[in-house]
């Protein structure tokens, strides 16, 4: 049986801002989860620039998920969201996304954009559940492996 379905119970996590002290742990997760992981420097830059932010989800005494975003004028971008494979289908990403949607809505953003691989069915299902839909397809956007990106949007009320 798929372990992601087995672990149904919600894990109540503590969501807080990502700091430089979290990056070693975040990078370990990032490398385990993505075929084309971000570098330490990419995260470091992202949490230090005005308008950019990162959140971590802590549960079971460790970081079990994280998400990053940036804001330009009234436009927000979700740059990544990921959950430790041992803690999936426990609403961790849901809690991260809800926090980000709250932050960007309070900052008067009208919509939030993201890119996702068309082959990433789990992420597509997750995003669709929370109000994102596909705007257009951007050819050859991803590397390792090469793949188009679907650009998705969620309008914020």
Ligand X SMILES: CC(C)(COP(=O)(O)OP(=O)(O)OC[C@H]1O[C@@H](n2cnc3c(N)ncnc32)[C@H](O)[C@@H]1OP(=O)(O)O)[C@@H](O)C(=O)NCCC(=O)NCCS
Q: Which residues bind ligand X (CB under 6 A)?
A: 4, 33, 80-83, 88-94, 116, 120, 122-123, 125-126, 129
3-class secondary-structure state, position 13: coil
Minimum CB distance to ligand X, residue 41 (Å): 20
| 66, 69, 87, 127: the active-site residue | 127
Minimum CB distance to ligand X, residue 81 (Å): 5
CB nearer ligand X, residue 27 or residue 33? 33
Q: Which two tokens stand for residue 107?
A: 């900052």
| 70, 115, 141, 147: the active-site residue | 115
Total count of residues recorded for the chain: 157
Cα dihedral: 21, 27, 28, 31 (round 10): 180
CB nearer ligand X, residue 68 or residue 109? 68
CB nearer ligand X, residue 23 or residue 66? 66
142 is catalytic: no
CB nearer ligand X, residue 71 or residue 123? 123
Minimum CB distance to ligand X, residue 98 (Å): 9
Closest to 91 in 3D by CA, of 121, 49, 129, 53: 129
- Contact 47/19 with Cβ under 8 angstroms? yes
How far, in Å, CA of 100 to CA of 121, rounded?
22
121 is catalytic: no
Q: Which two tokens stand for residue 58?
A: 């802590």
Provide the annotated active-site residues: 115, 127
């Amino acid at each position: 049986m798929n372990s992601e379905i087995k672990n149904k119970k919600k894990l109540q996590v503590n969501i807080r801002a990502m700091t430089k002290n979290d990056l070693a742990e975040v990078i370990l997760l990032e490398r385990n989860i993505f075929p084309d992981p971000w570098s330490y420097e990419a995260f470091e830059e992202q949490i230090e620039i005005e308008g950019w932010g990162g959140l971590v989800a802590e549960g079971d005494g460790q970081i079990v998920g994280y998400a990053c975003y940036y804001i330009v004028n009234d436009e927000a971008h979700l740059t990544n969201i990921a959950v430790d494979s041992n803690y999936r289908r426990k609403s961790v990403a849901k809690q991260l996304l809800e926090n980000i949607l709250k932050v960007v809505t309070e900052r008067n953003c009208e919509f939030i954009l993201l890119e996702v691989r068309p082959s990433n069915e789990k992420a597509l299902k997750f995003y669709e559940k929370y109000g994102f839909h596909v705007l257009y397809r951007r050819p050859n956007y991803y590397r390792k492996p090469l793949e188009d990106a679907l650009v998705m949007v969620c309008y914020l009320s």
